[in-house]
Each structure stands twice: as C-alpha cells, then as structure tokens.
Amino acid sequence: MYAGIFLVFTWPLAGNFSTAFPAVPGHDSYQFYWNVWHFREAVTTGHNPFFTDWLFYPVGSGLIMHAYIPIIGLLAVLVGNEMLAINLGLLASYALSGTGAYYLARRWVKNPVLGLLAGFIFAYSPYKLQRLPEHFNLVLTATVPFYVLAFLRAFEFQEGRFLPVVRSWAAVLACGLLGIITLFSDYYVLFGLIYFSLLYASWYWLRIGRLNWRNWRNWRTWAVLAGILLVSHIGIRLLRLAGVPDTGKWWGGDVVAFLLPPATSRWLDFAWAERLYNSSLFNMPGSIENTLFIGYALPLLALGLWLWRRRPRSLRSQDAQGRPLIWVLVVFLLFTVPTLRVYGHERLNLPTSLLHFIPFFNNIRCPTRWIMLVGLLLPIISFSALEAAWQGLKPASRYLLSAGLFAVVALEFWPKPYYQATAASVPAFYRQLAARPGTTLVPIPLGVTDGNRQAGHLPTEQLFYQAFHRKKLPGGYLSRVKPELFLALRQQPVLRALLQVQTHPDSLGTSPTPEQMRAFLQQYKPAAFVIDSSYQHHPVRPYLRQLLQPFGYTEQLVEQRVLFVPSPR
C-alpha cells in the first residue's frame, strides 16, 4: 500500500525510474545526485569514497561530516545507475517508513484503518513530502519505527535505576544494526533515534510518571514549572549576550508555522499562507526549514481528545511501555521551537535551547526538522485515545469514521506534481567537454559553500553536470567545509581575482600577473572556463577574455553560455 502511494504521489516518475529523479532546480537535489554519483565513481575505481578531489581541486575534502547518503551510494554500485538507485532508495524508505509505523501503532491501536493512517502520516507528512525532491537524506526514515519497536522489546526501565534491564539481546542487536544503517543514511535521523532513547529513559530517571492531573491543580507544581522556565529564559539570554554561538535561535520554528501548509501542498496552498510563508515573519522567508505543518485534522483531534477528560484511559496509557510516549512527544514539540516564537516575536527561551550551545550537538542546527518524530508519535497517541473515546460506537461506525479521517488527512497531505531532472536536461556541450583534454572545469559563477558559510556562488547544477563532463571543480558545495578551503579560494591569485570581479565588479582588486596565470593553467589544466547564461553580460566576461587571450584561449557562445577553451595546437 505505502509503495503504491509513493508511485501515485510522484507520478509520472514511475515511468522514468531509471532516467529521471525528483528535483528542485537550483536547490540541493543536485548535490544529493552528486553524492550518489561520487560514491559509485570512487568505489568502482578503487578510491576512498569518503574523500574527494572532484570538488575543491587540487586540495580536496573529506566527506565524513557531509550529508552523503552512502546507503543509496551502495545501492547505485549494485544497480549501476544513479537515478535508478535514488528512486529505489526513496521508494523503499517511504514504503518501509509507513510499514514500520503501522506495526508500531498496532501495539496500542486495534483499528487497522487507524493503524494504516498512522503509517501514512509518518511516511508522507508534509515535512517529508516537501523534502522528497530536495533533501533525500531527511526522508530516509525507514529505520525509525523499527528501531522504536526493537528498543521497546530490548529494554525494561524502572524508576530509581539508571541502567535498564535487558529483556532481549536479539532486540539489542537489532537496535545496533538499525543504528548503523541510519548512520549511513542521515545524521539527523540518527540523532532522532538517540534523542528518542534518552527521552524515553528520562521518563524513568526524572520520575515523570509520578505526575498526574491532580499535581497540575497544585500551585506548587505550577510554581516549579514557572521557576524552571524563568531560569532557562534568563540563563540562555545571558549565554547569548556573552556571545556563545547558538544556531538553533536562527533556525528555530514559529508557532504560526504549525498552521501554514507548505507551498508544495496541492489543495491547501492558500494565498494567505503563501504570503506569510514568504514574509519577514521568518528569519529565512520562503525557506523549506520553516515547515512545521502536520495538517489540521490530526492536531484538532489531539486537542479535542486532550480536553475531553471523561473519556476512558487508552490502551497506550494503560501500558507501562506506552506511557512515556506522551513525554517524548512533548519534548520533541519543544525541540522544534527552542526559542518560543509567536508570529515572529520571541517570547521565551525554552530549556531545550541548551542543546544548541553544546559543541557537536549544535551541528543539529535546524530544530524544525524534529517535526519528523512528532509525525510518528502524535498519531499513535491520538488514535489510541480516539479508540478509548468511541467505545460506545458500533464497529461499522468506527470504520466509517476512520476511513473519513484517512480521506481528510490524505487530501491535506497530497503534494503538487514534482519536477523531474533527467540526463537530457544537461546541456550537450557539457557532455562534449568530457572528450576534451584537461583536468578541471572552471565555472563562472564560482564559489565555496557549506551549511554555515558562503564565498561566491556555485550553482548546484554544476554538481549534476560534473557527472557528465567528468572534470574537477576548483570550488564546491558540501554540508561542512573546512575553513582552510574558504581561505584557499581567496589565496589563489587567479580564483581570487575572478571571485572579486564576480561579486564586486565595481571594485576590482589586483589582477594576477602573467606568471601567476601561467602557474594556474599548469596546475589546474582547465579543459574550459564556462560562464553561465546569467553572467553572459557581466564584467567578468571581458575580464576573463583579457586574462586568457595571451594564452591561446578562444571564446565561443554555446547554448547561451560563454566558453573559453584552449585553441588546438
């Protein structure tokens, strides 16, 4: 079923499974294609797949801290086709994500239609459907529900004990294997497993289970909660004033974002939502990282059931292993808004902000991505409570209501058609460059980019084109780039001069000397310099012509791009 939904939502991709892949032009999709191509290229030629000099030539860069998706790279080695590997990997991830969430939900949800809906919500949430054509790594969530199932089978936690009792060593081994697979998929998803495990255990460590509704009627409970929030707000404020780096504040979500359907929604892309989504309400207007939407029906159902105090206890709340899930869900919700922002105004620094001050952990810089785990836990908790609330209804009525809810959620989640990138979309002259002598291709614009910094600009299409022209690039774009590589771009006289003209044409710096130009051509051995169509009338064109003509390069206009290539000898 879940595989069929993938084929429907991505149609007509199914007819082009080996010749196209979902993409967003100009975005990160092409970087992930490069990941799969590079992994296969390195493995099949006997090189280390976790190091590259195809980018940042001649120094190169390690790929350990890069969002590399080697799990799909391995699949590409097996099938011998990057596009087919990407599509098969995405299909398997969505299908297995839904299947695993279904089996996890069925521990506490007896209605099979609600169980299927729980799997659908986790597999096809707007968060994942929006990232399907762009961030392939973030949709590789197939291991998550199976890990939770194995974790619950593996351990038994008790209040007052730090270490759990091992119930099944086979389940412990399954947790380890699923963790390794996740490590080769995406580090956000991996940290999701780690955080789930720690939060689940903290239910027992902090004795959260001893709190009940009566405690919340006691003024002391509210006083303690207010004290915790006050201390965290002031403490985090002082850390920021002291200049301690905090990436989570910039990337954190806004409460309004829970109500804003993404622009990729087929039926809910309202004009008012689009205006808000692209407004200064967010630190990055129009960014995919602003998405916290999980539909309207599910949150309204959860809110209504929470307010309905007379309903019987759900199967989940009666199960000792199911009770901690509500705590884990609440904390993941708080993770998405570490600084509580409401309509663009920061109201409160929540305790979860502390994670973004801890070195290494603050590499998890986009807290809105934790809506992924909300999509797993909220349906399970809500549907189990719904079953407790409708016990007086006839079975036929329950199935009818479940089917109706499924239909509403499916309409809320249904995406717009996805753009497909194909080999045919690669300009023909890039293929022809593969046959030209030379080691590198120097594109204009050029630059070095990672998730935190940018010097110049390298269009991500250049990463896609590289698989066809097979020339190395002096710049690059990776998730994490060492500071030395940014420095190297500015220290190389020719690249520094081109970058200066590209970014500040009115304030030209020192031009490279003929000796520096000759040394550059000998070291980089460029097969061509390519100026993009958007820079065809930019001052960088005559500047580059002036640099290259003394060395026998000729200028050509091909497919709206300017090429400088060595004259044949």
- At 398, is the pLDDT very low, low, confident or very high (cuts 50, 70, 90)? very high
Summarize the confidence of residues 65-79 as an average pLDDT. 95
Of the chain, the percentage scoring pLDDT greater than 90 comes to 82
Within its chain, how far is the Cα of 305 from the centroid? 32
Tokens of 311: 């309903």
Share of the chain above pLDDT 70, in %: 99
CA 464 from centroid of its chain's CA atoms: 19
Average pLDDT over residues 21-47: 96
pLDDT, position 18? 95
Using 50, 70 and 90 to split pLDDT, how confident is the model at 215? Answer: low
pLDDT, tens digit, for every residue of 296-355?
A: 999 999 999 988 878 889 999 999 999 999 999 999 999 999 999 999 999 999 999 988
For residue 169, give the 3-state DSSP assignment: helix
Q: Rounded distance, CA 228 to CA 350, Å?
A: 9
Q: What is the pTM of this model?
A: 0.94
Strands, sheet with 561-566, edge to edge from the N-terminal-most edge strand? 440-444, 526-531, 561-566, 553-558
387: pLDDT strictly greater than 90: yes
| Digit-coded pLDDT (tens) for 108-146 | 999 999 999 999 999 999 999 999 999 999 999 999 999
| CA-based end-to-end distance of the chain | 62
Helices and strands (H, E) in the chain, number of each type: 24, 15
Mean pLDDT of 428-446: 94
Length of the chain: 569
- Sort strands 61-62 and 155-156 into parallel, antiparallel or unpaired: unpaired
What average pLDDT does the chain have? 93
Residue of 189 and 240 predicted with greater confidence: 189
